[in-house]
Structure 1
Amino acid sequence: GGDKFYALDFIGLTDKAGYKSEWHNVTTKDGYILSLFRVPPNPASNNTQNKGPFYLQAALGGTGDLWVLFGQNRSLVYSLSDAGYDVWIGNLRGTYYSRGHTNMSAHDKKYWDFSLDEYALQDLPAFFDYIINATGQPQLSYIGHSLGSTIILMLLSDKPEYNSKLSVVIHFGTVYEFKRWDITRIYLYLLTEFFKIIVPGGLVKYPIQNKLVPAFIYYFCLINIITKRLCGYPFELALGADREEFDVSEEFVTLMCHYPAGTSSKVFQHYGQLIRSGN
């Protein structure tokens, strides 16, 4: 039904929580048209002073939905808005919010010819420049989760002039080196080898999505303990979680309906190169 979280996009989720939000389009220098969401400072809060822009970047295959899925009391976006921050949330190329291009279609194989470098050196600078221009503020704050942490480090290393545009950078679940062969590293390595076999060119979108997928996931994964295990096992591998602490609940299935939201298999191949090199 319309009141289910899995049926709502970012604007619908924020409206449901009682917050105003905006949808902006940003074009990168290489022609990708990306969606950028904004949640202004909450006028109903006690913090009347605008504390400036705060940018949030989700993990690999994630969108702005991940920051607002579970309502006012459990979403960082709303906490920052209540505290007086102007919150901006980027959606990297290839996710379902950011599949536009000035002269290509997302159905073209060439569209998916991107890796971590394009995330870091094309998408992030385009978002930052847009936010600084839109707000008139010389700096913004940054929070990155997992891949979001990786690509900001790549950007600041390759284009050090962006250091002056950031007042603070906060990392969650940072992925910047692969020195230890833990379960997550093994899982990513096997996944990259799988992509090399089935798509040698590495230019195929992941995952293949349509409107029926969220409803199927939502109802299939909650049928019984067997379907819960089937749905949860890939995440147990990827996250290194123990079964005793990993629960495929209704909330988790709601998360699955929004994630993963798409990327190129070439991104996994890039991760594979980092894993093999140990860097």
Structure 2
Amino acid sequence: MSHSLLIALFLLFFPKCWASFNTLNVLSDISTRPIVNDLVEAPNFIALAAENGFRAEKHDVVTEDGYILTMHRILPGENCARKKPVLLMHGLLQSSEDFMSSGPFAPGFVIAEQCYDVWCGNVRGNSNSLRHTSLNPDKDLEFWKFSFDDMGLYDIPAMVDYVLEQTSAKKLIYIGFSQGGGTFFIMNSEKPEYAEKIGLFIGLSPSTRNLYSKSLVFRGLSEGVQTFRAELETVGIWEIGRRGSLATGALNVLCQNKLVAAILCEAITSALDAPHLESVTPEIERRIWKYFPAGTSVTNYEKYGQALKSEKFLKMDHGPEKNQELYGSTKPPEYNFEASTVPTVIFHGLSDNIVDTKDVEWFLPKLPNVLDYIQVEDPLWNHLDMTYSRFWNETIFSPMKKYMAQYDSI
């Protein structure tokens, strides 16, 4: 990997590093101030929907522990017969816009065109969910003391309940990409009663343990944060990759240039995952870099660092003393896959460098109700293709829709 690419990735994920040593905090303030909306034409979710002929809404959901989450809804067409609501949950560093940003063939639009009531969630700490009933994300470290454990325990159940309440449906269809799939398993393990609220689970490369992940960038960032988490927090680095900060905003701007998008930005996404140039074109790169990354906490990346080293899908390891206090054991307990009794379909790509085939095939036998395990025939299909590929309709939705139709009863 070239030095220039490494520098770009460092600035992308740690935009406040260079500013943290300024004792007056002037540069730190600049590094977190949103600039991308001033420099890049980045329509919000509702505007994106309108550009593609759909109506959309914004909703606020409050979790049991006080986080205020933004949800977006793509309304079905006026002539559509009523169908079961569909909840789309994004992956690490993504947001609801990532299900729409790649264009007319994006998952949100493809599913909405089939008259489904599409809801797109945003977990705590991404750029759409930076609010809390009592904590200030810019001043309170406590706001950022979360991992995907908390998302599965609090965020996902809150959004499931909200969608069912708003739609008066008895069950919904849950489609989770990467982290959005792993948090589904956590919800079922911790709150098994929620299995009764889901008619069908579709996992797009769901992330659980990441023992065999091949992505050097993902491994390097996760293990680096795990090693230096305390030091990062001490110098005021509590989050990673907030949308619109100085470094990420600058990259968002650069990626709007066709040449830069085709070279630098494509190189970054290929380094994060694996190359698949025909699938995610430079034009798509330009679109997705308006919204990606959307940020998460340092603690969440610490948890991914743990997942890279474990042979099991475990809760957060806080150290023996804290573990004993929280779990009644010096070691963190395993999540229970057997509690995920929901009918399940899993999709995976053979060139997925973030969620490896070995890790998927490790948890599959533990799930009690797998309807299908679909390995994409395209040998180059990678992790990011699951949300951004221009071939998503024919490659993923084509085999997916028969299961959605089968479990569509309200």
- TM-score normalized by the length of structure 1: 0.86
Aligned identity (percent) is: 27
Alignment equivalent of 1:265, drawn from 298, 301, 304 = 298
> CA RMSD, aligned part only?
2.7
Local SS of the residue matching 2:308: helix
Stretches of structure 1 that go unaligned for 5 or more consecutive residues are none
C-alpha separation in 2, matches of 1:79 and 1:227: 25
Judge which range, 63-72 or 10-19, deviates more.
Answer: 63-72
CA shift in 2, pair 1:220/1:116, >3 Å: same
Deviation at 1:99, TM superposition (A): 0.5
1:189 counterpart = 2:185: no
How many residues are paired up? 270
Local SS of the residue matching 1:34: strand
CA shift in 2, pair 1:219/1:111, >3 Å: closer
1:159 counterpart = 2:159: no
C-alpha separation in 2, matches of 1:235 and 1:70: 14
User: What's the counterpart of residue 29 of structure 1?
Assistant: 64
Describe how 1:119-138 pairs up with structure 2 within 5 A: 119-138=151-170
1:235 counterpart = 2:269: yes
User: What's the counterpart of residue 113 of structure 2?
Assistant: 82
Deviations 1:195-241 (A, max 9, x none): 24554266511114437667633552465867854433332222133
Deviation at 1:130, TM superposition (A): 0.8
Judge which range, 26-35 or 150-159, deviates more.
Answer: 150-159
Max Rg structure: 2
CA shift in 2, pair 1:178/1:7, >3 Å: closer
User: What's the counterpart of residue 278 of structure 1?
Assistant: 311
Local SS of the residue matching 1:137: coil
C-alpha separation in 2, matches of 1:95 and 1:78: 22
Local SS of the residue matching 2:266: helix
Deviations 1:47-81 (A, max 9, x none): x3111211001111111111112333x02222322
Whether the 8 Å contact between 2:69 and 2:122 is mirrored in structure 1 is yes
C-alpha separation in 1, matches of 2:149 and 2:300: 9
C-alpha separation in 2, matches of 1:30 and 1:191: 28
Deviations 1:89-131 (A, max 9, x none): 1011111111110001111221111001111010001001111
Whether the 8 Å contact between 1:99 and 1:106 is mirrored in structure 2 is yes
Describe how 1:1-279 pairs up with structure 2 within 5 A: 6-44=41-79, 48-72=80-104, 74-107=105-138, 108-180=140-212, 182-184=213-215, 186-200=216-230, 204-210=238-244, 216-221=250-255, 228-241=262-275, 249-279=282-312
Stretches of structure 2 that go unaligned for 5 or more consecutive residues are 1-36, 313-410
CA shift in 2, pair 1:213/1:50, >3 Å: farther
User: What's the counterpart of residue 332 of structure 2?
Assistant: none
Local SS of the residue matching 2:59: strand
C-alpha separation in 2, matches of 1:134 and 1:41: 14
Deviations 1:247-277 (A, max 9, x none): 7613203212201101001111111111111
Local SS of the residue matching 2:209: coil
Whether the 8 Å contact between 1:26 and 1:35 is mirrored in structure 2 is yes
C-alpha separation in 1, matches of 2:296 and 2:101: 20
Whether the 8 Å contact between 1:20 and 1:40 is mirrored in structure 2 is yes
Whether the 8 Å contact between 2:42 and 2:291 is mirrored in structure 1 is no
Deviations 1:112-164 (A, max 9, x none): 11001111010001001111111111111010111111110111122111100
Corresponding letter in the other structure for 2:218: L
Judge which range, 61-70 or 139-148, deviates more.
Answer: 61-70
Corresponding letter in the other structure for 2:56: S
